[in-house]
Chain A
Amino acid sequence: MSDILFVEQSWWGWLIAGYLFLGGLAGVAVPVSFYIWYRYRSKRLSYGGGVVAFVAMIIGLLLLLLDLGRPQEVAALFFNPNINSSSWMTIGTYIIVIFTIVTALYIYPLIPWRMPLKAIFGENYIKTTGFIASIFGLTTAAYTGFLLSAAKGVQFWNTAILPILFLLSAASSGICGVYGGIVIPSYHFRNRNDSDSIGKIEIVLRRYELFLLLAELFVLFSYLNVSTWKGPGAVESVNRLITGDLSISFWIGVVLLGFLLPLALLLGYVLRKEKVPIMFSVVMGASVVIGTFIMRYVILEAGVIPVPLS
């Protein structure tokens, strides 16, 4: 007697996938833009990355709120003596709230628009808030994986490799967030110095992106491969991704758009030392971003609960 009933996970859909993806993108875009500020001490060069991260986090938090079935009780997460501090949902809530607030504090003096009191924030202020925001950003990117792997029902998620995969895909999409916030707008820079610095930054980002995508592809492969040994529920999930109802999204959305297209573009340009054409940045960035979102979505959708019957 070992009958099993397979139940497809259908409670967390594209809202949660969108949040997981935006949280990861924002979580890595902040440390990268902070590094650019630290290296060049140029507000003008670095503010775009922080703005992209902040906007992504706000949209992500809205998606999270929209997914809640009982948003009227959301205060229970903050003003509640019985709060369960060992739940990744609780830990994550505090991490993302602190991250969003500190990111706002960090980008405020960087933004070139005229706003009150900006003159009083010195370099030490940017250094401190940028550092704290970077730490909380990387934690945000990592915790989304732990959130899923702690869901005991879904065998496919119940693995140590998922946080690693999510952190890597957050890093590759976070660099694309920096492309969107810093590199692509810089094509309009008239200032020669800024343009040179952006060129150097872009070459470094391009190499990291290539490395991260290759590492992510390897981790994705080992995740799917090792999952087939994990148990009937995980096997069912992998089958749905490779040959089943999610195979078109997986092969076209994740493998082709998320990995092969950007890898081909990056390999074509990785050894060149000059600034790349704008179309490269746009197509490479967009394909990685869309591919990362689809990857989060199919991993959520592929979740199967193998219910033991006896």
Chain B
Amino acid sequence: MVRYGFVINLSTCIGCGACVVGCTEENTLELQKISNRAYVPIGGRRDLHLVEKGSFPSVYRVNYHLTCMHCDNAPCVAVCPTGASYRSDEGAVLVDYDRCIGCKYCITACPYNARYVNEALGGPDKCTMCIHRVREGLDPACTISCPTNSIIFGDLDDPESEISKLSRHAIPIGEEMGTRPKLYVIPP
């Protein structure tokens, strides 16, 4: 069994936003296939939140990444009435739109605010870990768009993989909430 996850190295992230652009570019096409619409705007699968820290003259900026943690114990999956939100075999938290009624319970349940209402779908939309790419053996769009290789994707259960070595020194975000997130950050 694989257990895919992300490590984001905040010490090398320059906050350029290429990951956001790459994500939108890749997934607009994917959503068009699901919803049979010519244009499906994506506006919240992944975002950056830039925070300035320190005091003059030692000032620095932290570029936080806002996206899905693909929790192993996902609150959104726990509350979904129809089982439309589910955790796939690869460890990705996904939405099955054949069963989603658009009640938005999952959006209020997510403590990371990783979901948003996509008007074209009428329901929640979220990071899919680019599962259509991952199943073909490719890396997610955010990972390949990053110019400084700050987003590392891979199998957390494989002890030899780069990500599982890095994750030992990284912090899983909001771990204390008991969600068992699979997105780790290396502090700046």
B interface secondary structure, majority = loop
Please indicate the chain A residues that have their CB under 8 angstroms from the CB of B112 in the complex. 153, 307-308
Chain B's closest residue to A91 (CB) is B81
Tell me how far the C-beta of A153 lies from the nearest C-beta in chain B, rounded to whole angstroms.
5
Q: Which residues of A contact B101 (CB under 8 A)?
A: 68-71, 73-74, 76-77
Q: A1-B187, A82-B83, A153-B75 are in contact. List 14 more A-B contacts (CB 8 A).
A: A5-B64, A5-B66, A12-B108, A69-B101, A70-B102, A70-B122, A71-B102, A73-B97, A74-B101, A76-B99, A83-B83, A151-B79, A153-B110, A306-B111
Assess whether A89 is in contact with B97, with CB atoms less than 8 Å apart.
Answer: no
| Number of B interface residues in the complex (CB < 8 A) | 40
Q: Mark B52-93, 1 if CB is under 8 A from A, else 0.
A: 000000000010101000000001001111111000000000
User: In whole angstroms, how far apart are the Cα atoms of A308 and B49 in the complex?
Assistant: 12
Least Cβ–Cβ distance between B103 and chain A, in angstroms: 6
Residues of A near B43 (CB, < 8 A) are none
Residues of chain B lying within 8 A (CB to CB) of residue A197: none
B interface with A by C-beta (< 8 Å): 10, 49, 51, 62, 64, 66, 75, 78-84, 97-105, 107-113, 117, 121-123, 171, 173-174, 177, 185, 187
Question: Which residues of chain A (138-164) have a CB below 8 Å from chain B?
Answer: 147, 150-154
Q: Is the CB of A93 within 8 A of B98?
A: no
Give complex CA distance A77, B51 in Å.
42
Provided the pairs A69-B122, A88-B79, A308-B174 are in contact, do residues A153 and B64 lie with their beta carbons within 8 angstroms? Answer: no
Q: Are the C-beta atoms of B108 and A70 separated by less than 8 Å?
A: no
Question: Do B111 and A308 touch (CB < 8 A)?
Answer: yes
Flag if A89 contacts B113 (CB, 8 Å).
no
Q: Shortest beta-carbon distance, B187 to chain A, in Å?
A: 6
Contacts of A217-256 to chain B: CB distance below 8 A? none
A308 — which chain B residues lie within 8 A by C-beta?
A: 111-112, 173-174, 177
* Contact, CB under 8 Å: B78 / A86: yes
A153 touches which one: B103, B108, B123 (CB < 8 A)? Answer: B108
Contact of B102 among A5, A73, A80, A87 (CB under 8 A): A73
A310 within 8 A of B: yes
The answer on a CB contact under 8 Å between A68 and B103 is yes
Does A276 belong to the interface (CB within 8 Å)?
Answer: no
